[in-house]
Amino acid sequence: MDLPVLTPGQFELVYNGFSLAVAAMGAGFLYFVLSRGQVAPAYRTALTVSALVVAIAFYHYLRIFEGWAASYVLEGGMYVPSGVPFNDAYRYVDWLLTVPLLLTEAVLVLRLKQGAGGMIARLSAAAVLMIVTGYPGEVSSDTATRLLWGTISTIPFIYILYVLWVELGRSLAAQPEKVRVLVRNLRLLLLATWGVYPIAYLAPVLGFDGAGAVVAIQTGYTIADILAKPFFGALIVWIAIEKSRADGWSPSDAKAVAAAKA
């Protein structure tokens, strides 16, 4: 992508956002791994998937962070492109891996319905289609091209949100009381975070240009990723803990099993 000249404030906003994302993904990984012992075995796979999501995102944000720092140099009080290309494709590679996993962890922890494997496959296929069709518009400097591919990408995007919203809603009646509150929050978080991505994507169409567009896109995607990965994963953990309690399981059960094996 062609990089514009940035003010120190613009450069540091994006730079610090990337730094925050690296820290959030790393902290999320530790939290999800350490929380596995707090939930019943039936829900541990969902936490493992959550940890995998933020581990992948941690690596990619580290590369994005390093790439951003290398792409600019400070000259005359402004940050100007250094000539080192900024590889924004890291985001799309990350999303190709993490978005299907995000959908998987929600289905696993809530046990949305019989035949969950088929739902995961359909949602994952839609996620890949959404990301692949969105990329040509992302790398294009032409507004019409960006709008065209963004519109095509919106079709699987809406399908994913619709299926999750409906299935999460249907699952409420079968959930314990405390879990219902968390599932409602999960639905709202899905709607809020996934809504940020198309807004950031359409920044050049919405009147942002040059430096403003780059800052809006990078900052918007980073905020959405932090909410959609570690924050989403934290809700998955809390749901798993409450469902474990409702099933009559407690961490002492795991200790007893471990002691018996020893």
Low-confidence ranges of the chain (pLDDT < 50): 259-260, 262
Q: Please name the CATH architecture into which domain 8-255 falls.
A: Up-down Bundle (1.20)
* Nearest one of 162, 157, 163 to 224, comparing CA atoms: 157
> What confidence score (pLDDT) does residue 237 get?
92
| 16-21 LR contacts (CB < 8 Å, sep 24+) | 17/218, 17/219, 17/222, 17/223, 18/61, 18/64, 18/65, 18/68, 18/218, 18/222, 19/65, 20/222, 20/226, 21/57, 21/61, 21/65, 21/222, 21/225, 21/226
Residues 229, 29: contact at Cβ < 8 Å?
no
> What confidence score (pLDDT) does residue 254 get?
59
Task: Give pLDDT tens digits for 180-191.
Answer: 888 888 888 888
Task: Give pLDDT tens digits for 194-205.
Answer: 888 888 888 888
pTM (two decimals): 0.89
> What confidence score (pLDDT) does residue 215 get?
94
DSSP strands (E only) in 64-171: 72-75, 78-81
> What confidence score (pLDDT) does residue 24 get?
97
Tokens representing residue 58 in the block: 């941690």
> What confidence score (pLDDT) does residue 114 get?
52
Rounded to 5°, the CA angle 65-61-222 comes to 95
